[in-house]
Structures are given as C-alpha cells and as structure tokens.
Structure 1
C-alpha cells in the first residue's frame, strides 16, 4: 500500500536575502514533512529563521533554493495568482496581534476571507456563525474588537482562520500577547481543533507551546537542529477495523 503524500514537504530549502549588497542566509538547507492531522511547533530564538520558514510554508514567499510542496505540488511552479488562490483556500493564518479590522464586528471579521472566494453574503455569514460557534464566540458575534478581551479577539482570529476549511492553520506566536491563563485557554482550543483532524503549525519561541504539540522542530541560525516527535500520530482506523 502506497503511503499518502505529506501535506507539506520542504526539500533542501534555503532562503537568502540581500541587504546593502550583502547576502544574508535566513534559512539554510532545511528539510521536513508535515502530515495531515499533525500539530507541530516550529521553535527558535529571534533570528533563527522561523518567521522566514513560516512565510514559505504559508505560500507568502518562495525559497531561493530547494522546493516547497503542498499536497505534492511544487508551489514554485505555480503562477503568483495561482499561489494566491491556493493560499486563500489552503492556509488559515493566526497572528499574535489578531489583525482584526476595527470597523467590523466579530462575525464580519470572520466572514471576510470568503469575500475573496466569491461567496455570497448570506452564505458567508452562515459559515461565519458556524466558525464562531466552533471557538465558543457565537454570543459575541456582533461585538467589535474594542469590546473584546485579548483572548476573545484571538478566538475570533482563529474562527477567521478556520472559515475556509483550510488544510493548515498556521499560527505565529498565537499566545504572545496574552496572559498565561488566557494563553493556556487558546492552546487548549488549538488542541481541541487538532483532535477533530485539523493540521496546525505554530511558530513560537515559547517552550510552553511545544509541550502542547506532538512534534517540535527547532531552528537555530537558519538551520534545523532537531525534529522530535513526542506523541506519534496514530493512523486513522478503517471502517472495517
């Protein structure tokens, strides 16, 4: 039986930037796969290359060398418009600063990504309600960001990331702006979403996040220094088993 393709595959990926004519290697020869249903922490200190790596996983940037594959397709071979469309459908982003629009209430913020998918307003709002329900925020659907706590804003941001049923939720320091108790609640929410089969990749410098993930990938000076699986991902049972 042929093993399924990894959801994300990085092969000898490097990313070099030029600053004042000087080449700076942000990521160097990194390779790993992420399977569907994993919850993974990508860890490293400031300057380790984790943000650059996040941008490549999220189809926001391309490697200078090597290949990034999403469901077996080399994303470098796609046009910019095709990558943008694939990103909108396949990647849900969660940011430390929430990035909610102040003039829109929670349900409007959550529904916004579906505008770019050409989905009508009625269907957008129905799906946004379901997404808010999934993160326990339906009762705050018509509140504006200024009326929400930090933890509530991050829950709305997670609902927005889930709205298009993405292959991957990519979270950049998702608890960085929260107190420890609220941060723990957000991590528990991610764990619950992962138990439904959602693939989650969290970019962080916080060791506490790594303890909530089955797998931790560590970077230092742009290089992969360790890749540890704490709890193996169990294969899905067949209907006959």
Structure 2
C-alpha cells in the first residue's frame, strides 16, 4: 500500500517582502512536515516569522522560494481561485480577536463559511448547530457576540473553524485575549478535538501552549531553530508477584 504524503510539507521555504524598496526576509529556508492528526505549536518571539508562516500554511500567501505542499500537491501550481476554494474547504482559522460578526448570532456566525460552498441555508444551520454542539455552545446558538464572554466567543470561533470539516485548524494566539483559566479551557478543547483526529497548528509565543502540544516548532529571526517532539511517558508496569 502506498503511504500517504504528509498533510503539509514545507521544503526550503523562504518568504521575502519589499518594504520601501528594501527586501525583508520574514521566513528563511524552513523545512518540516505536518502529518494528519498532529497537534503542533509554532513558537517564537514577535518578528520571528510565525504569522508569515501561518499565512503560507493557510494558503493566504505563497513562498518566494522553496515549495509548500498540501496533501502532496504543490500549492504554487494551483490558480488563485483554486487556492481560495481549497482554503475554504481545507483550512479552518481561529484568531485571537475572535472575528465574529456583531450583527449575527452564534449559529449564523458559525454557518457563514458554508455560504461560499453553495450549501442551502437549512443545511448550513443544521451543520452549524452540530459544530456548536461539538464545542459545548449549542445552548448559546441564538446569542449575539456582545452577549457572550470571551471564552464563549472563542468557542464559537472554533466551531466556525470546524464547520467545513477542515483538514487542518490554524489557531493564531487563540488564548491571547483570555484570562488564564479560560485560556486553559480553550486549550483543553483543542486537545479534545485533536483526540478525535483533527490536525491542529497553534501559532503562539506562550510557552504554556507548547506544553499542551506533542510537538513544538521554534522560529527565531525567520529561521527554524528547533523541532521538538514530546515523548509520552509510559505508565510503569506492575512488578511481577
């Protein structure tokens, strides 16, 4: 049986921008794979290239050099329309600021991504309710963002990210606007989703998030400086009688 390619593969990826006529390399010669079912923290200080890396993994931007593959396909070979369609179906985004629409209630916010997939309103709402149930928020389906706490808004944002059954969820500082207790609850939710097989990548500068992930990729000045996998501690066997 032929082995499946990595879900995401970066091969010698660099991204250079021009600012006031000066070339600035935000990501430099980065290579790593992300397999299906992984939960990964991408860490680094401000300016380390985390957001640029997230934009490329999320198909919002393309490498200046090197190649990025999604399920074995070089995304640079795809048209802009194809990448947009693929992004809508395959990538779920969660942001620090929630990005919920104030004039729409929770279930409408969650259903919104399906508008662009040609799915009927009735089916969108059914699937949005299921997604809210998955994050423990179905009882708040008809509340507006202003009526929800920060943690509840983030749960709604996670439900929105899950609505299209994405291959990967990208979370950018998902606990940055939350207190420590609520942040821990959101991290526990991500861990529970990962146990169901959901692939999750969290962009962060918070070491506490990294401890909740089985793998941590560290960036500094745009370069990959560490790729660490947490080896689970096996329970001790009982001594023979």
Q: Taking structure 1 as the reference length, what is the TM-score of the superposition? A: 0.96
Cα distance between partner residues in 1 of 2:123 and 2:237: 33
Q: Which has more radius of gyration?
A: 2
**Contact 1:215/1:231 (<8 A) preserved:** no
For residues 79 and 239 of structure 1, what CA distance do their matches in structure 2 show? 61
Q: Secondary structure at the match of 2:225?
A: strand
Let me know the Cα RMSD of the aligned residues. Answer: 4.3
Q: Which residue of 2 aligns with 1:50?
A: 50
C-alpha distance in 1 between matches for 2:136 and 2:223: 38
Give the Cα separation in 1 of the matches to 2:74 and 2:239: 33
1:13/1:66 contact within 8 Å kept: yes
Give unmatched runs, 5+ long, in structure 1.
Answer: none
Q: Which residue of 2 aligns with 1:206?
A: 206
How far apart are 1:240 and its partner, in Å? 30
Cα pair distance change 1:218/1:117, threshold 3 Å: same
Is this contact kept in 2: 1:9–1:68, CA < 8 A?
yes
Aligned to 2:158: 158
Task: For 1:10 and 1:180, locate their aligned partners in 2 and report how far apart those are by CA, in whole Å.
Answer: 33
Alignment of 1:60-99 (within 5 A): 60-99=60-99
Distance change (3 Å), C-alpha of 1:50 and 1:234: farther
Cα shift at 1:6: 0.4
Deviation, 1:234, is 13
Shift in alpha-carbon separation, 1:24–1:186, aligned structure 2, 3 A = same
Structure 2 length as normaliser, TM-score?
A: 0.96
Cα distance in 2 for partners of 1:239, 1:59 equals 52
